[in-house]
Amino acid sequence: MRVVICDDSALFRKGLALLLDRVGVTIVAQAADPSELTALLEKQPADAVILDVRMPPTFTDEGLVAATELKKRFPALGVLVLSTYAEGALAARLLESSPRGVGYLLKDRVDDASALRDALERVAAGGVAVDPEVVSMLFRLRQEESLADRLTSRERDVLRLMAEGRSNAAIARALFLGTKTVEAHIAAVLTKLDLSQTPDDNRRVLAVLTWLRMEGTGAHQNRDR
């Protein structure tokens, strides 16, 4: 198997190359950033690439963007993205943009050379390889998106104001609603978020936590009713 490694850390690239060499994986090239990686692949065909999710210049999602572009440019190429942290939202973006021949693993688990080789072989064959912890996060993400889908636009407005710490009366003033109407919306929110079996104070706290998680994943956005 022929593999290219892309990571801004030369030390990490060297260590990963030595690790994979032990299990018969041939490292044909190494790159420090996505642009160098693309140039190398034009000259040096490979079965798969390994790239970090956060790379120069902004260290945000360059690796993820590069993975998507690589799959468009080289459809048969297996792309394995490595991340220091389990980030369900980033993994979801990767899988949604390229549902075949991609993988998302955590860096602290790549010390198992055989498992890493298996993941590379899987993505090179058009399959998917995702770290178990990230899989769990994806399930939670989908659940939160499902919860967000249950809420009407007005109920999401109420939940957002609850997250800001506003009282029922303050929410009513902000939305130009009666207090009883706000109470009805809050009751609907708590029921739809499956929080109906806990004390009222705890229910509000749990509802706010749910909103904050949805805000972090974008699950509450772009859902007009």
Percent of the chain exceeding pLDDT 70 equals 83
Q: Encode pLDDT of 13-53 as tens digits.
A: 999 999 999 999 999 999 999 999 999 999 999 999 999 99
As a whole number, the mean pLDDT across the chain is: 85
Does the N-terminal peptide bond of residue 56 adopt cis geometry, omega within 30 degrees of 0?
no
Domain boundary among 139, 167, 201: 139
Q: Which domain holds residue 23?
A: 2-139
pLDDT reported for residue 222? 44
Q: Is residue 225 situated within a structural domain?
A: no
Quick one: 37 and 122 in the same domain? Answer: yes
pLDDT reported for residue 209? 67
Q: Encode pLDDT of 99-130 as tens digits.
A: 889 999 998 878 889 999 999 998 999 988 88
Distance CA 65, CA 34 (A): 9
Mean pLDDT to the nearest integer, 133-152: 71
Quick one: 42 and 112 in the same domain? Answer: yes
Distance CA 183, CA 158 (A): 10
**Contact predicate 4/40, CB 8 Å:** yes
pTM for the whole thing?
Answer: 0.66
Number of domains in the chain: 2
Quick one: 84 and 169 in the same domain? Answer: no
pLDDT reported for residue 131? 86
Q: Is residue 45 situated within a structural domain?
A: yes
pLDDT higher than 50, residue 188: yes
Quick one: 102 and 170 in the same domain? Answer: no
- The number of beta carbons lying within 10 Å of the beta carbon of residue 13 is 19
pLDDT higher than 60, residue 217: no
Question: Which amino acid is it at 3?
Answer: V
Cα distances (angstroms) measured from residue 199 to each of 127, 156, 196, 203, 209: 46, 21, 8, 6, 15
Quick one: 26 and 95 in the same domain? Answer: yes
Domain boundary among 81, 116, 139: 139
